[in-house]
Structure 1
Amino acid sequence: MSPAELIVRSDGPILRLWLSNPGRRNAITWSMYDGLLGIRDVVADDPSIRVVVLRGAGGEAFAAGTDIRQFGDFRTGQDGVDYEHRVGEVLTSLLGIRVPVVAVVDGPAVGAGLAIAACCDLVVATPDAVFGAPVARTLGNTLPPLVLARLQQRLGAGRTMALLLTARLLPATEAETAGFVTKIVDAEALEEYVEDLLLTIRSNAPLTLASLKEIERRVLAEGANAAADDVLAAVYGSRDFRAGVAGFLEHQPVEWEGH
């Protein structure tokens, strides 16, 4: 059986990632977490990357949480604190990726898999996708503030607590209604839809996309009065903005440079 790993493939302006843990529904190991932690720097160091797509390998799941075998060595409450801090660092890193991140969910996205999907900007799901963190029924552990806050932002506070307190799984249709899932796509049409979506994203102005992500981060942290003049100035002072205005007035398409 192949080892658990984060598979990373560069495809021109697209960085493609697969969570891969065969036979364990892509449950996430420490090495896979470490791989995810490094993606922000990979994107930051390569201005040609316009979009990241993350999915589960093998078609059996997006990710069925953390690989539980890794909890066997836990002996104290501090072990759990250290674990949650480690995962929190990964999630914060994912949220800090400068380009849009698209999650493609086919099957379960539960526990840490749900948290990772929640840290992506867009979520495309198949009809059999399910979402949840049923820890109250399974492991008897809990969720840290970062994950709870992100779920509340994406699902709503009431729905999040109902989901967690009942330890049930949310079907894709409910997740779409809540706004967590961007689009439900039948399996046979999934690849074409995803590729069209990636083409649309990478055709847009990269500075605009990056600025929207940065401003959203600040609004979520500080509210509507968050300071963002530096971001606004960088976008309005860019060559891309000048090219965009000229192209609009001249009815010509614009080749975005990201500068």
Structure 2
Amino acid sequence: MMLNVPKDQEKSYAEGKILQSVGDGIGIVTFNNPEKRNAMSLDMWEGLGLALIELRDDPGVRVVVLVGAGDKAFVSGADISQFEKTRHNAEASEEYSKRSAAQRALLADYPKPTIACIRGFCLGGGMQVAMLADIRLAADDSQFGIPAAKLGIAYGYDGLRNLVTLVGPSWARLIMYTGMRIGSAEAQRIGLVDRVLPDAELWDATLEIARAISGNAPLAIKAAKITIAQVLKDPDDRDFDAVKAIGSACMDSEDFREGRRAFMEKRKPVFKGK
């Protein structure tokens, strides 16, 4: 169930280390640094941001899939060979974090559904990317971990908040204090990933879910995404006006009328996102 996207329609960023393509309402962003197990450089973070903005602003794209090139890794972490130059002390590390923070914030507040398709290693910064996605699907031989303690790195508030939200504080401590790696079955058991599949079936299963999302009403999905985000906030920070506004937009939309008509006429609805 591959997406048939001609090579000349594939866009590239960060000197080819971030690839982006679109087909069937699905945007695909590929981390393409397989010789370094898709380790993320600053250029790749910035390229990721450009690819995500383009897909965000493309009205034909309903869902975005993040995937690593090759079968060895989703993203194996930050490119440590850059650290002597970019993260050698607190000041440099602060600058590094600032330059990659914009892309993490973009993914955290992304208005369209996102799916991380994970095979092989998903470590450190790769875990940050995966945890920012709405849905995580993993191959049965994937490995997960955050080796920050083995490198003397503080992982950061947002990454740890996402980890604690998914797996709870005790597992977050175990993962962070030991730097241990866990397999897919354990990752699913503790809530880090949502579904585990044999490696050969992972991509087709990912596209099947992406197509199901792409065929549904975009405003209804946006309403779910906005409302779930508010549920996860501290009570004092919740924006109930945003929840009410998207609810009203759904009920007044052409898509709501189309959904009702299609149901009564026993046909598949054709949603336009308005």
TM-score by length of 2: 0.87
Aligned partner (choices 80, 83, 106) of residue 96 of structure 2:
83
**Residue of structure 2 in register with 1:244 after alignment:** 259
Counterpart of 2:215, as a letter, is S
Q: Give deviations 1:31-63, integer Å, cap 9, x for gaps.
A: 110111124421332111011111110111111
Number of residue equivalences = 257
Gapped regions of structure 1 (runs ≥ 5): none
Paired residue secondary structure (1:136): helix
Would the aligned equivalents of 1:40 and 1:98 in 2 still touch at CA under 8 Å?
no
Would the aligned equivalents of 1:4 and 1:29 in 2 still touch at CA under 8 Å?
no
Question: How far has the Cα of 1:250 moved from its partner?
Answer: 4.1
Question: How far has the Cα of 1:7 moved from its partner?
Answer: 0.9
CA separation in 2, counterparts of 1:85 and 1:216?
Answer: 27
Would the aligned equivalents of 2:75 and 2:123 in 1 still touch at CA under 8 Å?
yes
Counterpart of 1:251, as a letter, is K
Would the aligned equivalents of 1:27 and 1:65 in 2 still touch at CA under 8 Å?
yes
Q: Does 1:71 align with 2:71?
A: no
RMSD across aligned C-alpha pairs, in angstroms? 2.0
Q: What does 1:65-214 align with in structure 2 at a 5 Å threshold?
A: 65-73=77-85, 74-137=87-150, 139-214=151-226
CA separation in 1, counterparts of 2:272 and 2:102?
Answer: 31
Question: Which deviates the most, 84-93 or 97-106?
Answer: 84-93
* Percent of residue pairs identical: 28
**Residue of structure 1 in register with 2:23 after alignment:** 11
Counterpart of 2:211, as a letter, is L
Question: How far has the Cα of 1:222 moved from its partner?
Answer: 3.8
After TM superposition, where is structure 1 displaced by more than 6 Å over at least 4 residues in a row?
none
Aligned partner (choices 42, 51, 55) of residue 67 of structure 2:
55
Counterpart of 2:23, as a letter, is D
Q: What does 1:219-234 align with in structure 2 at a 5 Å threshold?
A: 219-223=231-235, 226-227=239-240, 228-234=243-249
CA separation in 2, counterparts of 1:89 and 1:29?
Answer: 14
Question: How far has the Cα of 1:75 moved from its partner?
Answer: 4.2
TM-score by length of 1: 0.92
